[in-house]
């Protein structure tokens, strides 16, 4: 017998379609404005654009590595320990996500800029934390790492603790339990956080522009070209960013497939 959708589903479907239109329309519109010839010449002939792509890819890659190495363990600690002020720590971690990028950049400049205490110490050691590649990485880590930390915290928090206890009673130290049980089970959600953080780092504009205007990343270069040449100069660069983001979105979907769960939603998957 043919089943017709309920009025609730029809209403929700229409609302969802309106939402999808807002999300998809700009992407489709960009395709209409894209001139293949100008895109090709831009990528082949403009060294500033090629350099911006290189800076963006390398800096976001470095940021992702740093965020993963430092952020995933922090997420695990927050998921597995209770201490006074834990809620406050989580609020502070989430702050850069909700802070406007430009404001974040100003905070970073005050803390790590040439005139700051940390900045001066770093200068004395021969390292500059602003107006260079390091500054870009710093800005990207600042704005994007909350995505890694919070997704890791949620991912590890949803790993049934009894699995870790079972592994420990089978002879594994806490270190081995993390690598053999906790991380493999939490992997889809942790990977999702890492990919989202990479996308965020890739498109980072506000904080990067304040902390390190040069060398230019793709978003900063896009802004510069828009200022100089208007839409015609900016469209090919927007397309490049869109392609990178699309790749990340596909990676996010592929890497974040969940493990099978049982009827209780626990990963231990016991059948009734």
Partner 1 sequence: MRSVLDAKVTKALATRRGPDFVVDVDLTFDIGMTMIIGRSGAGKSTLLACIAGVTNPDLGLVKIGDRTLTCTQSGIALPMHRRRVGFLFQDLALFPHLSVRENVAYGIHGDTATRKERTERVMDSFGISNLWNRRPHEISGGEQQRVALARTLITEPTALLLDEPMSSLDPDTKSAIIDDLRLWNSERRLPVVYVTHDDSEVLAMGIRTVTMSQGRVVNDAPSTNARAHSSHNVSQVSALVVSFDPVTMVAQCRLMNSDIVIAAHRPGSTPGDIVTVALNPEVSSYDRRISHSS
State yes or no: residue 160 binds partner 1 (CB under 8 A). Answer: yes
Q: Rounded to the nearest whole angstrom, what is the least distance from the CB of residue 72 to partner 1 in the complex? A: 17
State yes or no: residue 255 binds partner 1 (CB under 8 A). Answer: no
Segment near partner 1 (CB under 8 A), from 39-47, 106-114, 167-175, 203-211?
Answer: 167-175
| Residue from 199, 182, 179 nearest 64 by CA | 199
State yes or no: residue 259 binds partner 1 (CB under 8 A). Answer: yes
Cis geometry, peptide bond prior to residue 215 (ω within 30 degrees of 0):
yes
State yes or no: residue 172 binds partner 1 (CB under 8 A). Answer: yes
Cα–Cα distances (Å) from 99 to 11, 28, 94, 217, 259, in that order, read 34, 30, 9, 20, 34
Segment near partner 1 (CB under 8 A), from 22-30, 136-144, 181-189, 204-212?
Answer: 181-189
Q: Dihedral (C-alpha) 148, 149, 154, 159: value to the nearest 10 degrees?
A: 90
Segment near partner 1 (CB under 8 A), from 46-54, 124-132, 180-188, 223-231?
Answer: 180-188
Cβ(193)–Cβ(155) under 8 Å?
Answer: yes
Give the separation between CA 201 and CA 23, rounded to whole angstroms.
Answer: 20
Segment near partner 1 (CB under 8 A), from 17-25, 64-72, 173-181, 209-217?
Answer: 173-181
Binding test (CB under 8 A) with partner 1, winner from 57, 58, 106, 166: 166
Q: Rounded to the nearest whole angstrom, what is the least distance from the CB of residue 187 to partner 1 in the complex? A: 8
Q: Which long-range contacts (CB under 8 A, 24 or more apart) does 7-14 make?
A: none
Q: In the range 111-130, which residues lie near partner 1 by CB under 8 A?
A: none
Residue in the structure block whose two tokens are 């997420």: 75
Please identify, using beta-carbon distances, which residue of 165 and 250 lies nearer to partner 1: 165
Q: Rounded to the nearest whole angstrom, what is the least distance from the CB of residue 192 to partner 1 in the complex? A: 16
Burial 246-260 (b: 16+ CB within 10 A, else e): eebeebbeeebeeee
| Residue from 144, 131, 62 nearest 101 by CA | 144
Tokens of 133: 């590649």
Q: Rounded to the nearest whole angstrom, what is the least distance from the CB of residue 166 to partner 1 in the complex? A: 4
State yes or no: residue 2 binds partner 1 (CB under 8 A). Answer: no
Q: Rounded to the nearest whole angstrom, what is the least distance from the CB of residue 90 to partner 1 in the complex? A: 24
Give the separation between CA 75 and CA 89, rounded to whole angstroms.
Answer: 11
Binding test (CB under 8 A) with partner 1, winner from 185, 194, 196, 235: 185
| Site of interaction with partner 1 (CB under 8 A) | 160, 162-163, 165-174, 180-181, 184-185, 259-262, 264, 266-272
């Amino acid at each position: 017998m043919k089943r017709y959708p309920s009025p609730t589903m029809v209403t929700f479907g229409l609302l969802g379609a309106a939402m999808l239109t807002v999300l998809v329309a700009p992407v489709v519109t960009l395709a209409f404005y894209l001139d293949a010839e100008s895109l090709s010449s831009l990528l082949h002939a403009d060294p500033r654009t090629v350099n911006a792509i290189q800076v963006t890819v390398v800096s976001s890659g470095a940021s992702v590595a740093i965020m993963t190495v430092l952020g995933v363990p922090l997420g695990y600690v927050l998921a597995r320990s209770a201490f006074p002020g834990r809620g406050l720590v989580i609020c502070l971690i989430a702050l850069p996500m909700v802070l406007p990028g430009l404001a974040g950049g100003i905070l970073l400049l005050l803390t790590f800029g040439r005139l700051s205490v940390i900045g001066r110490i770093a200068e004395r050691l021969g390292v500059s934390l602003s107006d260079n590649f390091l500054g870009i990485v710093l800005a990207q880590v600042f704005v994007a790492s909350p995505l890694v930390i919070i997704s890791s915290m949620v991912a590890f928090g949803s790993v049934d603790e009894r699995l870790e206890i079972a592994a420990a009673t089978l002879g594994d130290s806490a270190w081995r339990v993390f690598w053999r049980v906790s991380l493999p089970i939490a992997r889809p959600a942790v990977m999702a956080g890492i990919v989202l953080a990479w996308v965020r780092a890739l498109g980072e504009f506000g904080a990067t522009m304040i902390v390190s205007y040069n060398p230019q990343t793709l978003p900063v270069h896009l802004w510069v070209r828009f200022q100089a040449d208007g839409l015609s100069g900016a469209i090919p660069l927007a397309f490049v960013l869109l392609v990178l983001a699309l790749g990340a979105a596909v990676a996010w979907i592929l890497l974040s497939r969940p493990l099978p769960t049982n009827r209780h939603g626990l990963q231990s998957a016991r059948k009734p």
